[in-house]
């Protein structure tokens, strides 16, 4: 699935969500995730809802069009709750969705808010039983004395119905806010991470979890860092990583001990002293960590850059890609308008040759590792004609602004792309703006 | 560093401190409760800003005094900075009275020498340096009627005290969790 020699071009495919500029807070997309085959695409929003899109069977007669994604299922995953002991509201916002590998006809996903993780089963029903002779039309049971024969109901086709039902609720295991969930390659366990602790769960057992990382200091005054993201290795079921607000990543081996406070590897790049500022600590905080599909690398996202680490080299990343270096001189204003706290995610393409992450002004960036090239693209309604090719964008950092460039001061910091996802096998990407989901695909010649 | 540069850094540090404090206050009313990560980052920025504010003030003070300074005022500078260091490392109880915390922020607490020293120094300084940092409320601030109610609210949610913010001094932002 590598792109043809030369520049890969991306085209608009679809956009989902309301058109009007007045964004309802509940509609703000908070997570996007393809399933393992890429056939299903799930989004979670601030209102606690999950919407799943399904790619239709490919249209063989028109190979230039990949199939569209249409709504498959919508359900309310989490509701707002109130913690009476602490007098705190628990937001229903879906922080993360992770799909389980498919084992039977049904699909399963884990969705989490700040405190509770739920396992949802999404199943199809396209037949229903008919021909009961024990019941009336309206469902009332007939008088048994009137029944003289036994008739077995027959399954007849019906309109497809997709049902989502909560199969497990994993609650009350996190004092702090859950930021990550990750399914293990053993397909039996998963981890959930909050600011200070990581718990290991068995998918079948809801009343118990094992604490595998605890960085809470005895005296909270000594707290210097929190956990910001965690993920299991894609193949090694004993290995996971977690990132911190200090810009470090720790790799842990669950075989070493029950409590993995002692890391097996510590990945940290020494800070460049010339870049020191008031905000150095904030911008070095890692907002996302993702293993490559082949399990040899991992990628981290901090405020200004994306770093790719070789798991065998702890002292520095093998690649560093600047996402929006022109913001370094604007950190003070970004601190004042809270943008400096934005948590951007990042993702790999299927063969680990390209990585992608979001930025401001509805821009998103792709870095081609092999060809050492990067591109900035924009998700906007203006570029949303069917199969319209996206034109690369350029930000003018200073000095003379060329034609078609946009100056840093004109960037809209309210339009941010925090969540992106790449189809595991194909060149299809899902990019979430505030309340819209854009689907782009590469141009098939 | 020149005097003007020191003053600019000083002003910038004060501004950042003021912005940070208002963000900390605002985060109390956020839906979903206080975010530990965000509060930690805010307190780190505040700490940097405070350290830079103090060091730039010291530089300013040193540059402002062309004539030899009295031995007393020199040592006061050193005492002040070493005291703020020890304040940070002293272990303090995690849960505390809300009205105590309000006072701490207001700078009334006797152990908070940072706010006492400028007034003292200015007497010796011929008034070139402002008496007290103006982003902090006056030392004599009393609990206003509105704040009284707020402090009572804090007191009522103290049980368990995991996530309600009961103090704003840098050492105590995190123990409130």
| Most distant CA atoms of chain B, gap in Å | 56
In this complex, do A226 and B40 lie within 8 Å of one another by their Cβ atoms?
Answer: yes
Chain B closest CA to A278's CA: distance in Å? 6
Q: Which residues of A touch B104 (CB under 8 A)?
A: none
Sheet containing A363-368: which strands, arranged edge to edge? Answer: A346-348, A354-358, A363-368, A373-378
Strands A363-368 and A373-378: antiparallel
Chain B: residue nearest A115 by CA?
B32
Q: CB-CB: which of B12, B37, B164 is closest to A228?
A: B37
A413 touches B: beta carbon within 8 Å: no
Chain B closest CA to A90's CA: distance in Å? 5
Chain B: residue nearest A246 by CA?
B41
A218 touches B: beta carbon within 8 Å: no
Residue that the structure tokens 């995991």 belong to: B162
Q: Which residues of A touch B160 (CB under 8 A)?
A: 85-86
- Which of B117 and B13 is assigned the larger pLDDT? B13
Q: Which residues of B touch A95 (CB under 8 A)?
A: none
Q: Can you give the pTM of this predicted structure?
A: 0.80
Per-residue pLDDT for chain A (445 aa), expressed as one digit of tens each? 343 334 689 999 999 998 887 889 999 999 999 999 999 999 999 999 999 999 987 665 665 567 899 999 999 999 999 999 888 899 999 999 999 999 999 999 999 999 999 999 999 999 998 887 887 778 788 888 888 888 888 999 999 999 999 999 999 999 999 999 999 999 999 999 999 999 999 999 999 999 999 999 999 999 999 999 999 999 999 999 999 999 999 999 999 988 988 899 999 999 888 888 889 999 999 999 999 999 999 999 999 999 999 999 999 999 999 999 999 999 999 999 999 999 999 999 999 999 999 999 999 999 999 999 999 999 999 888 988 999 999 999 877 778 889 999 999 999 999 999 999 999 999 999 999 999 999 987 5
Burial (CB count within 10 angstroms: exposed 0-12, middle 13-18, buried 19+), residue A56? exposed
Classified as helix, coil or strand, B136 is: coil
Q: CB-CB: which of B36, B44, B163 is closest to A88?
A: B163
Chain B: residue nearest A284 by CA?
B41
- Which among B72, B20, B69, B76 is positioned nearest to B48, based on CA atoms? B20
DSSP per residue, B65-94: --SPPPHHHHHHHHHHHHHHHHHHHS---S
Interface test with A, best of B14, B44, B87, B164 (most A CBs within 10 A): B44
Entry field: residues in chain B = 177
ipTM for this model: 0.89
């Amino acid at each position: 699935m590598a792109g043809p020699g030369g520049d890969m071009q991306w085209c608009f495919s679809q956009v989902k969500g309301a058109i009007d500029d007045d964004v309802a807070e509940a509609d703000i997309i908070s997570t996007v995730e393809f399933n393992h085959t890429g056939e299903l695409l799930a989004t979670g929003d601030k209102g606690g809802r999950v919407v799943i899109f399904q790619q239709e069977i490919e249209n063989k007669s028109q190979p230039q069009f990949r199939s569209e994604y249409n709504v498959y299922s919508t359900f309310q995953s989490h509701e707002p709750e109130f913690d009476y002991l602490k007098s705190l509201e628990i937001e229903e916002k879906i922080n993360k969705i992770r799909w389980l590998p498919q084992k039977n006809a049904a699909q399963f996903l884990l969705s989490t808010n700040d405190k509770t993780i739920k396992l949802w089963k999404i199943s199809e029903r396209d037949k229903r039983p008919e021909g009961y002779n024990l019941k009336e039309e309206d469902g009332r049971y007939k008088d048994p004395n009137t029944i003289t024969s036994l008739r077995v109901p027959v399954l007849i086709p019906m309109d497809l119905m997709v049902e989502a039902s909560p199969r497990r609720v994993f609650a009350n295991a996190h004092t702090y806010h859950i930021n990550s969930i990750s399914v293990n390659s053993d397909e039996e366990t998963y981890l959930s991470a909050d600011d200070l602790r990581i718990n290991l769960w068995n998918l079948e057992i809801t009343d118990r979890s094992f604490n595998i990382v605890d960085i809470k200091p005895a005296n909270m005054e000594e707290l210097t860092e929190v956990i910001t993201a965690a993920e299991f290795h894609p193949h090694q079921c004993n290995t996971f990583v977690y990132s911190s607000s200090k810009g470090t990543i720790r790799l842990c081996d669950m075989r070493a001990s029950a409590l993995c406070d002692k890391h097996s590897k510590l990945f940290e790049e020494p800070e460049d002293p010339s870049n020191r500022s008031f905000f150095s600590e904030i911008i070095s905080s890692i907002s996302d960590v993702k293993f490559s599909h082949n399990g040899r690398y991992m990628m981290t996202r901090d405020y200004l850059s994306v770093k790719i680490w070789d798991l065998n080299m702890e002292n520095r990343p093998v690649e560093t890609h600047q996402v929006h270096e022109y913001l370094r001189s604007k950190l003070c204003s970004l601190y004042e308008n809270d943008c400096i706290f934005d948590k951007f995610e990042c993702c790999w393409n299927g063969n680990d040759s390209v990585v992608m992450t979001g930025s401001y002004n509805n821009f998103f960036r792709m870095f081609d590792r092999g060809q050492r090239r990067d591109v900035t693209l924009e998700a906007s309604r203006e570029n949303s004609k069917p199969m319209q090719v996206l034109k690369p964008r350029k930000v003018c950092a200073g000095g003379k602004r060329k034609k078609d460039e946009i100056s840093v001061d004109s960037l809209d910091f309210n339009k941010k792309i925090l969540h992106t996802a790449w189809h595991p096998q194909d060149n299809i990407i899902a990019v979430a703006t505030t309340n819209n989901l854009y689907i782009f695909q590469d141009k098939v010649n | 560093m020149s005097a003007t540069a020191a003053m600019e850094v000083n002003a910038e540090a004060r501004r950042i401190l003021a912005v940070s404090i208002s963000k900390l206050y605002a985060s109390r009313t956020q839906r979903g409760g206080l975010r530990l990560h965000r509060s930690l980052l805010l307190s780190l920025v505040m700490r940097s800003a405070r350290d830079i504010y103090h060091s730039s003030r010291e530089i300013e003070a040193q540059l402002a005094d062309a004539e030899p300074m009295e031995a007393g005022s020199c040592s006061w500078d050193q005492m002040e900075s070493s005291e703020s260091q020890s304040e940070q490392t002293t272990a303090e109880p995690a849960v505390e009275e809300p009205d105590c915390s309000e006072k701490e922020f207001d700078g009334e607490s006797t152990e908070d020498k940072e706010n006492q020293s400028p007034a003292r120094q200015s007497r010796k300084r011929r008034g070139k340096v402002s008496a007290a940092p103006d982003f902090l409320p006056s030392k004599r601030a009393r609990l206003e009627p509105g704040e009284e109610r707020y402090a009572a609210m804090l007191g009522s949610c103290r049980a368990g005290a995991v996530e309600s913010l009961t103090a704003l001094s840098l050492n105590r932002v995190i123990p409130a969790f």
